[in-house]
A and B are shown apart, each in its own frame.
Chain A
């Protein structure tokens, strides 16, 4: 029983290693596009999105939980925080992280001035 559990643990670690060797990446997220020629400032906008990497212990930290999409979701949240906004200018991006025992969470905050393009 003891030898089986050790073998099982090794198999699991190997599987996780294989899975994680690919690493993970978000898609490029446009956070500060070219400002349109004519626009109207609507006000301050801010959006935050979090993700986590787990699980259990460092050796198993290969499971992304919403981690890769956090920048995109934060930008979308910032746009939605101001009704009618089509883009952001004067953009700032910030990341915070916290250890939560079995996972590490990372939160991205996108803020800026919301604008509406005038066509």
Chain B
């Protein structure tokens, strides 16, 4: 009885301790000024990534979804520079959990030679 109680308590403590997570910081790159890019050749690009939070505290691809979305955006941009970056966060109820989606929109511009940032 006592051992079972201790086990339950330890399990609950482990669940509680692990029921929180820090996401990966996503850095959107260095400052981009208009003289560094060819503004006549801009293209809107977009990417999104979804994670699922099962029950109340089991993350499935939730913590890395912003990084995943940005990596997909960078892949779409290729060598071009990304600027005017917008983030849209959404969620959808899924009974046993919640779907979280991060969508990132940006403008991709080709570089125009080299230029100073400021």
Tell me whether A68 and B89 are in contact in the complex, defined as CB-CB below 8 angstroms, given that A97-B62, A99-B57 are known contacts.
yes
Question: Which residue, A37, A53, A94, A108, has most C-beta atoms of chain B within 10 A?
Answer: A94
Q: List residues of chain A with CB under 8 Å of any chain B CB.
A: 16-17, 20-21, 23-39, 41, 53, 57-59, 61-62, 64, 67-68, 70-71, 89-99, 104, 106, 108-109, 113, 115
Residues of A within 8 A of B30 (CB): 89-90
- Which residues of chain B come closer than 8 Å to A71, judged between CB atoms? 87, 89
Given A24-B90, A27-B88, A93-B28, A33 contacting B56 (CB threshold 8 A): no
Query: In the bound complex, do residue A28 and residue B93 qualify as a contact, i.e. CB atoms below 8 Å apart?
Result: no
Residue picked from B20, B30, B93, most chain A C-beta under 10 Å? B93
Give me 4 other A-B pairs in contact (C-beta within 8 A), A95-B66, A98-B21 excluded.
Answer: A17-B93, A58-B56, A97-B53, A109-B25
Number of interface residues of B (CB under 8 A): 49
Q: A61-B98, A95-B66 are in contact. Are A32 and B28 (CB under 8 A)?
A: yes
Whether A96 and B66, one on each chain, are in contact in the complex, defined by CB atoms closer than 8 angstroms, is no
B interface residues (Cβ-Cβ under 8 A, vs A): 16, 19-35, 53, 55-57, 59, 62-63, 66, 82-93, 95-98, 100, 103, 105-107, 117-118
With A58-B96, A99-B57 as given contacts, are A37 and B33 in contact (CB-CB < 8 Å)? yes
Q: Which among A25, A94, A113 is the interface contact of B90 at CB below 8 angstroms?
A: A25
Contacts of A62 in B (CB 8 A): 93
A26 and B83 in contact, given A61-B98, A93-B66 (Cβ under 8 angstroms): no
CB-based contact A34/B34 at 8 Å: yes
Q: Given A25-B90, A29-B87, A94-B25, does the pair A99, B19 have CB atoms closer than 8 Å? A: yes
A-B contact pairs, 10 of them (CB 8 A): A29-B86, A30-B86, A31-B86, A32-B106, A59-B96, A92-B25, A94-B24, A94-B26, A97-B53, A109-B25
